[in-house]
Structure 1
Amino acid sequence: MSGAALLAALGDRLGAIRGRLTPDADMAKITWFRAGGSAELLFQPADEEDLANFLRALPEEIPVTCVGIGSNLLVRDGGLEGVVIRLSAKGFGEVVRVGATQLRAGASAPDKRVAAAALDAGLGGFHFFHGIPGSIGGALRMNAGANGVETRQRVREVRAIDRRGELHILSVEAMGYAYRHSSAAPDLIFTSALMEGEPAESAEIRARMNEVQHHRETVQPVREKTGGSTFKNPDGTSAWKEIDRAGCRGFRIGDALMSEMHCNFMINAGAATGHDLERLGETVRRRVHETSGILLHWEIKRLGRFAPGHEVQAFVA
């Protein structure tokens, strides 16, 4: 179904919705890879209430996918069925101090903005967010981390809306955090988080943020069309070391390649398609397993349908 047809079929159900609805939205404009197909219908809610009302009005059989700023997202060329929800900066991007040591961050707030707000508030422990190219919603979902600190160490409470439009408030224990993982129900759309730091001197916080920035700029291809770390680190080693050992530094399929600077970063060096990028990743997974016996697991989220005739077979050991 086309997005226009889906929107027409929903008819008066969405009459009270205040957010923005875009049929057949080009996801390549959203993802940092600048590749992939379209979403049948993209919805950007005005605020938490608008999101809840939309989900209550949406028929249960229509699939819903929530995305952030697209920094670690690979959309397949056949696009995304149903509704894609992307939280607006205006409705979900605020970061405010709510106590002596606490911030409330909206889910669409960029991680770097949270680090900056913590600096302004004199709160330590948030410096690692300065080096994560994503939003707080994604950080909550995957327990994002860097420089030896993880999101779960800062989270105290998370607000979320489920597929039926009901509000949930989850403790950090209820989030079920592990390495780059949360066991919170997959249908939950996180809207904000209460986060806690500790008092610190601004000069100390700024110095740690500068260390994060320097490290990122010197070892990562930050000015390329990339999705960040492609694979999770296996136990006892680093993904980049195993990729390098397998001879895949700089390995290329079309315009998709593994970075020469940091070979766990996949890059769109020109006009790579979602098919090119995913095929590159699966080829690297196979070669690493052939070399070291290690099975790499994707950290980049891959969503949507393959274009007809361009399916990518997942490597299975």
Structure 2
Amino acid sequence: MPFADLSSDIRAAAPDLRGRLLPNQDLSALTWFRVGGAAQLLFTPADEDDLAYLLSKLPADISVTVIGLGSNLIVRDGGIPGLVIRLGGKGFTEIAVEPGDRLRAGTAVPDVKVARAAADASLDGLAFFRGIPGSIGGALRMNAGAHGGETTDVLVEARGVTRKGELVKLSHAQMGFTYRNSAEATREIIFTSALFQGRPGEQAAIQAEMDRVTQAREAAQPIKERTGGSTFKNPEGGKAWQLIDAAGCRGLRIGGAQVSEMHCNFLINTGGATAADVEGLGEEVRRRVKENSGFELQWEIKRIGVAA
């Protein structure tokens, strides 16, 4: 059932809005799993000022959800009530090399493009982004990392907009990074850009490192399937994939969802899966791992929205 159309009310409250505001937009095509329901309102701001303007005019009782490239995301089948924001366009996709071996990127920039831009500029230290699916916004939110590097290792500062439409800048310390997470204080901020610190390097050596990361991903992860990133965080004292394998979950299916045979910390949509299939499979994996080893796996993939 469609959500109530709030677009006319929002446009009346924010008549100078420049971005796209669309009611009842299907989100399944915007997630790598290709599952999920609709957004009550989907907003793509023209730029940072446009985003701040809408948020400053948005009624307090309308919830706000931000999605990026959808690589690490399950949108539940009932969709997402309220306003869903997806950054895109020139205002959030620019990359610039700055003095002091630094690189600034909009938060809609895919992680892989940051790695490539750094390599082109002979900036070492950012090649690990080549192995992370998703965008810089998601990397900030969850301290994304791969192949020996994490966002916390290279971030100088992040810029964003609060729920009230205020522009803010957060230092590395204010981000409060922990393993695959950032501080609770960042929850209400919609990040718009980030500044990273690199170091001088040899372009050929950086490219070789990126090639190594690419080959490792292709050999070990089901990147050609409808999947997300790693499903569960590695618990202290264990590796998620080993615990899942030991619990007999490799290849396990629920509906159209399956634990990958290639890498069992990845769930895949084999075709026709619902969001409930994918999330239900993940919960069954958690149950079996807990029963088998005593470890309680924590979701790394974000699950948002309401059940159908």
- 1:249 corresponding residue in structure 2: 250
Deviations 1:68-99 (A, max 9, x none): 01000000001000000000132101111111
- 1:136 corresponding residue in structure 2: 136
Deviations 1:190-232 (A, max 9, x none): 0001111000000110010011000000000000000110000
Aligned positions, number: 307
Partners of 2:175 and 2:286 in 1: how far apart? 29
Greater shift in the superposed pair: 48-57 or 178-187: 178-187
Deviations 1:222-276 (A, max 9, x none): 0000011000001121100000000000000111000000000000000100010
- 2:221 corresponding residue in structure 1: 220
- Structure 1 2/251 Cα, relative in aligned 2: closer, same or farther at 3 Å? closer
Partners of 1:6 and 1:116 in 2: how far apart? 40
Partners of 2:300 and 2:239 in 1: how far apart? 13
Structure 1: gaps (5+ residues): 308-317
Q: Structure 1 counterpart of 2:29, which letter?
A: K
After TM superposition, list the pairs within 5 Å mapping 1:147-166 onto structure 2: 147-166=147-166
Q: Structure 2 counterpart of 1:288, which letter?
A: V
Q: Per-residue deviation at 1:174?
A: 0.3
Asked if the contact 2:5–2:40 (Cα under 8 Å) also holds between the matched residues in 1, the reply is no
Asked if the contact 2:107–2:193 (Cα under 8 Å) also holds between the matched residues in 1, the reply is yes
- 1:23 corresponding residue in structure 2: 23
RMSD of aligned residue pairs (Cα, Å): 1.1
Partners of 1:11 and 1:105 in 2: how far apart? 30
Q: Per-residue deviation at 1:11?
A: 4.2
Partners of 1:157 and 1:278 in 2: how far apart? 34
Asked if the contact 1:73–1:302 (Cα under 8 Å) also holds between the matched residues in 2, the reply is yes
Partners of 2:89 and 2:143 in 1: how far apart? 21
Asked if the contact 1:36–1:76 (Cα under 8 Å) also holds between the matched residues in 2, the reply is yes
Q: Structure 1 counterpart of 2:56, which letter?
A: R
Runs of 4+ in 1 over 6 A off after TM superposition: none
1:291 equivalent to 2:288? Answer no
Q: Structure 1 counterpart of 2:28, which letter?
A: A
Greater shift in the superposed pair: 211-220 or 98-107: 98-107
After TM superposition, list the pairs within 5 Å mapping 1:166-181 onto structure 2: 166-181=166-181
- 1:238 corresponding residue in structure 2: 239
Partners of 1:219 and 1:29 in 2: how far apart? 25
After TM superposition, list the pairs within 5 Å mapping 1:1-317 onto structure 2: 2=2, 5-183=5-183, 184-307=185-308
Could you tell me the TM-score, scaled by structure 1's length?
Answer: 0.95
Partners of 1:23 and 1:215 in 2: how far apart? 41
Could you tell me the TM-score, scaled by structure 2's length?
Answer: 0.98
Structure 2: gaps (5+ residues): none
Partners of 2:24 and 2:14 in 1: how far apart? 17
Partners of 1:5 and 1:51 in 2: how far apart? 20
Q: Structure 1 counterpart of 2:165, which letter?
A: G
Asked if the contact 1:124–1:199 (Cα under 8 Å) also holds between the matched residues in 2, the reply is yes
Partners of 1:2 and 1:299 in 2: how far apart? 29
Q: Per-residue deviation at 1:160?
A: 1.0
Partners of 1:243 and 1:134 in 2: how far apart? 24
Q: Per-residue deviation at 1:15?
A: 1.3
Q: Give the secondary-structure state (helix, strand or coil) at the position aligned to 1:299.
A: coil
Partners of 2:8 and 2:265 in 1: how far apart? 43
- 1:314 corresponding residue in structure 2: none
Partners of 1:202 and 1:64 in 2: how far apart? 41
- 1:315 corresponding residue in structure 2: none
Partners of 1:138 and 1:72 in 2: how far apart? 8
Q: Structure 1 counterpart of 2:37, which letter?
A: G
Q: Percent identity, aligned pairs only?
A: 57
Partners of 1:158 and 1:214 in 2: how far apart? 30
Q: Per-residue deviation at 1:185?
A: 2.6
Partners of 1:3 and 1:242 in 2: how far apart? 40
Partners of 1:4 and 1:126 in 2: how far apart? 44
Partners of 2:136 and 2:111 in 1: how far apart? 6
Asked if the contact 1:89–1:109 (Cα under 8 Å) also holds between the matched residues in 2, the reply is no
Q: Per-residue deviation at 1:2?
A: 4.8
Q: Structure 2 counterpart of 1:91, which letter?
A: G
Partners of 1:271 and 1:15 in 2: how far apart? 41
